[in-house]
Amino acid sequence: MFRRKFTLWYGNTNVASFNTSFLINIFPQNNTHGEGLAFLIAPTIHIPENIYGQYLGLTNASIDNQTTNVIVAVELDTFKQPFDIDNNHIRLNIHSIRSVVSKPLTLENITLVPDASTPSFHNIWIQYDGVEKIIRVYIAGQPEKTSPTPPMPETPIIQYNLDLRKMVNRDSYIGFATSTGIQTQLNCVLQWNITVEYIVGIQW
Ligand SMILES: *[C@@H]1O[C@H](CO)[C@@H](O)[C@H](O)[C@H]1NC(C)=O
């Protein structure tokens, strides 16, 4: 996690929007992979206990889906749990490892972890509009680590109405969470950029 909190709104009329992008390489181990990597907005930098495997560093069996978790995550899921659509999807999670939206990536010609031991590089863009209260997520691969960053796709893979003021703490940490399970992978964030803009004088 970035070791400083971000203020996501202040007063009754000022709200943050943010744009963030990051480059990842999720690398298989022994020709298998699991479980995933998530961009995370959370109340603390401390990690709950028992967050391995399907809990992805986010929640655990006793606290999952409690509104007191105050977390929002964009998850890149590389392992199929019984409740998952497949082992190659992107999803939006609120307080829980169960998602409010889940989108398969195979149809988009994206494979987060190739089965052979070859690195793969994917860019993820997350744009939160605090005035419209919409989160948009985009993803695009690039052939090599040092390739130029491809343009952001025109169409988001996830677009969801989200009022962060109702879901997370006003002062929240932002960063990444990840886990391995019975299958393992290397979860690498190679670049990360975030800009936060405050829009003042909003009428809610
Ligand atoms: C999570 O909690 C909400 C209510 O807060 C409920 O509607 C939903 O079914 C729960 N999801 C799961 C997977 O238990």
Nearest alpha carbon, ligand 1 atom 14? 65
User: Per-residue pLDDT for the chain (204 aa), expressed as one digit of tens each?
Assistant: 999 999 999 988 999 999 999 999 999 998 899 999 999 999 999 999 999 999 999 999 999 999 999 999 999 999 999 989 899 999 999 999 999 999 999 999 999 998 788 899 999 999 999 999 999 999 999 999 999 999 999 999 999 999 999 999 999 999 999 999 999 999 999 999 999 999 998 876
What spacing in Å lies between the alpha carbon of 183 and ligand 1's midpoint? 27
Substitution candidate for ligand 1 out of 96, 97, 102 with most atoms within 8 A of CB: 96
pLDDT at 117: 80
Q: Give ∠ CA 138-126-172 in degrees, rounded to 5.
A: 160
Check which CATH number belongs to the domain holding 167 and give it.
2.60.120.200
The answer to the question of residue 177 being in a domain is: yes
Give the domain extent around 128: 6-196
Ligand 1 site residues, Cβ closer than 6 angstroms: 65, 96, 98
Q: Which residues pair with 73 in a beta bridge?
A: 40, 93
Domain count, the chain: 1
Nearest alpha carbon, ligand 1 atom 3? 65
pLDDT at 204: 65
What spacing in Å lies between the alpha carbon of 75 and ligand 1's midpoint? 18
The answer to the question of residue 73 being in a domain is: yes
Atom of ligand 1 nearest to the CA of 65: 1
pLDDT at 157: 98
What spacing in Å lies between the alpha carbon of 28 and ligand 1's midpoint? 32
The answer to the question of residue 203 being in a domain is: no
Q: What ranges make up the beta strands (E) of the chain?
A: 6-7, 9-10, 14-28, 36-42, 72-77, 89-94, 99-104, 121-129, 134-142, 158-161, 171-179, 185-199
Note if the bond before 35 is cis, omega within 30 degrees.
yes
Q: Does the pTM exceed 0.75?
A: yes
What spacing in Å lies between the alpha carbon of 177 and ligand 1's midpoint? 22
Rounded-to-integer distance, Cα 175 and Cα 73, Å: 10
The answer to the question of residue 1 being in a domain is: no
Atom of ligand 1 nearest to the CA of 98: 13
Instruction: Give whole-number Cα distances, 79 to 35, 72, 105, 184, in Å.
Output: 5, 20, 13, 10
The answer to the question of residue 174 being in a domain is: yes
The answer to the question of residue 47 being in a domain is: yes
Rounded-to-integer distance, Cα 153 and Cα 172, Å: 28
The answer to the question of residue 204 being in a domain is: no
Nearest alpha carbon, ligand 1 atom 11? 65
